[in-house]
Amino acid sequence: MFQPRTNVYTRTQNHARGGLASAVTSTTGSTRSRSKWYKQLIGMLIVALIAGVGTVVPSQSSYAAGEKKPFPQQTSYPGTIKPSHVTQNAMNQAVAQYYDYWKGKYLKNNLSSLPGGYYVKGEITGDQDGFTALGSSEGQGYGMIITVLMAGHDPDAQTIYNGLFKTARAFKSSENPNLMGWVVADSTQAQGHFSSATDGDLDIAYSLILAHNQWGSGGAINYLQEAKQMITDGIKVSNVTTNNRLNLGDWDGKNALNTRPSDWALSHLRAFHEVTQDPIWLQVIDNLYSVYNQFSNSYSSATGLISDFVINDPPKPAPEWYLGEFKETNIYYYNASRVPLRIVMDYAMYGDPRGKAISDKLTNWIKGKTNNTPAKIKNGYKLNGTEVGDYATAVFVSPLISAATTDSANQAWVNSGWDWMKNKKEDYFSDSYNLLNMLYITGNWWKPGADAQPELPNLALHATAVASSIEGISFEADRAFDGNLQSRWASSEGSDPQWISADLGAVKAIGSVGLHWEDAYATKFKLQVSNDGVNWQDVYSETNGSGGVQNIPLNQVQARYVKMYGIERATPYGYSLYEFEVYPPN
């Protein structure tokens, strides 16, 4: 439900928190004495005040709201790459600054007809039926995913998320009340007036799973229950067709063959399967891959491109002016431009080689088309690769950078693309999708885990702990096992190696380890296990650690003791962990 614009996008000044505030953020949560840093900060504050910048307020702790997966998570997915010419911390800061800009420009809660209701302000297409549209279910879905992933950076994230959900529920679809009507307007008459659009509901339902992972479902909103109801009674009932495609909305037929590839959020569907255990979602995934490959073999064998809308069986491009929205519905345009992100995430998060094959074909084509220059990507292509657009915009560029993360041969392309996209500011549609791609590329779009169902216990919670050293009082080893993300263990400063271990009380099956690093993290370390606390076995080795939160899967490990053995530090200080978690297998 997007209207392409032919005018040049308006650039907007970034009013996100940056500069001094960013410098403050980098050390938030550390209580050790760092006199040199404080002297520098005081000097910066004085300069700022003299220059009339105003009050600079340090950001709140990432863990102030009790998030289980606070930003930054900076996950590294097997078989994928990230930009290699900048640090992970620099990427995290770029995402945080872009979010602050995006939030300030598009996230609104000024509905007089729905106090407390948030929405994402953006343009729409289609008949508004006499209402003044302020946003759409598409934007609502983007906003709900973004807000969950940025929780921790934004201390108000859960309040905002609940407000976005309030709006999604108030503006229920006229056809299926478990779905959202596609228009947001400041009128009670608009609530329940419009039918749904598939992409918005897929994103909203998926965001509810993320919200359950982030905050749990024991509060004011049972996120997991709401997700399951929306998935089963909403999307499955109204949007999954009898031929295992996704139709365009709950107004569309259950036997429809028309489908919008930008709705093919395959990793969402896998998450739906995980929380419902309904095999229909795997069947839809298999069928959509089949449709994509049939289409590409017939119409885009050299490019891998797909059209904004696909119809019929065997599949083919929709005609021009399909549904009367705009002429270019038969080519790779402003709907289909979103597809590469939808596809690559299924490979990155779930390892499906079909996602990699499509991503690789798209990447090989666009790199050749642009002579390895992302800034030369245009806003529209015929299926054979002929340009129809005349300038670069993030909703076209960024997904094609994401697609390239499947192969280290694309490192220069990903690096250049990151530099282009991280500061690109245009309009609601491009900016929102740009931010989603930035979250994926930096590893800050994390995969919903097994805790989308009953949560796995932390085997190391309150375990007996021992460390090679401590920095001093209040930094003891047991602080890393107390379940409190405000406290931490810290080793003595300036020496390697250092270690910390936990006694689980008995030999137990271990499926994964979670390390919540403070700023003083290990760039090189090992995870070791033992049954007697004397003889240790290496089960994991890290040679390029980037701090933050590391979730490390382990394969068939049985042990009583678990140790983090630090070999090389990122800072002149010691090693420091907010939490050291140990989980059983899924």
Residue 73 is assigned to a structural domain of this protein: no
Is the same domain home to 257 and 275? Answer: yes
Q: Is residue 69 a part of any domain in this protein?
A: no
Range of the domain at 232: 88-449
Catalytic-labelled residue, pool 129, 154, 186, 199:
199
Q: Looking at the chain, how many residues does it have?
A: 586
Evaluate whether residue 2 is within a structural domain. no
In a domain, 8, yes or no: no
Tell which residue, 280, 581, 281, has the closest CA to residue 455: 581
DSSP state for residue 480 in the 8-state scheme: G
Neighbours of 531 (CB within 10 A): 14
Q: What are the residue ranges in the chain where pLDDT is below 50?
A: 1-64, 452-453
Distance CA 298, CA 294 (A): 6
What does the DSSP assignment read for 361-422?
Answer: HHHHHHHHHTTS-GGG--S-B-TTS-B---S--HHHHHHHHHHGGG-GGGHHHHHHHHHHHT
Amino acid making up residue 368: G
Residue 156 DSSP class: T
CATH number, domain at 530?
A: 2.60.120.260
DSSP state of 483: S
Is 180 contained in some domain? yes
* 389: nearest Cα among 336, 323, 317: 336
H or E segment and range at residue 301: none
Same domain (yes/no): 246, 115: yes
Q: Helix 339-350 vs helix 394-403: angle between axes, to the nearest 10 degrees?
A: 30
pTM for this prediction: 0.72
- 182 domain-assigned: yes
Cβ–Cβ contacts within 10 Å for residue 181, how many? 28
Say whether 199 is catalytic.
yes
Instruction: Judge whether 174 and 116 are in contact, CB under 8 Å.
Output: no
* Structural tokens at position 14: 């970034």
Task: Output the pLDDT for position 48.
Answer: 37
Domain match, 167 and 141 both: yes
Q: Residue 551: its pLDDT value, please?
A: 79
Q: What is the pLDDT of residues 301-314, one digit of tens each?
A: 999 999 999 999 99
The predicted pLDDT at position 36 comes to 34
Strand partners, 177: none
Q: What is the pLDDT of residue 15?
A: 25
For the chain, helix (H) and strand (E) counts, in that order, are 15, 13
Cα 438 to its chain centre, rounded Å, is 8
Rounded CA separation 10/7 (Å): 9
Looking at the structure, do residues 180 and 247 belong to the same domain, yes or no?
Answer: yes
Based on the fold, state whether residues 559 and 431 are members of the same structural domain.
no
Using the structure block, give the residue that is written with the tokens 């047991």. Answer: 478
The 10s digit of each residue's pLDDT in 326-338 is 999 999 999 999 9
- Give yes or no: residues 92 and 167 share one domain: yes
Task: Name the nearest CA neighbour of 323 among 227, 384, 251.
Answer: 251
Q: What is the overall mean pLDDT for the chain?
A: 88
Residue 155, pLDDT score: 96
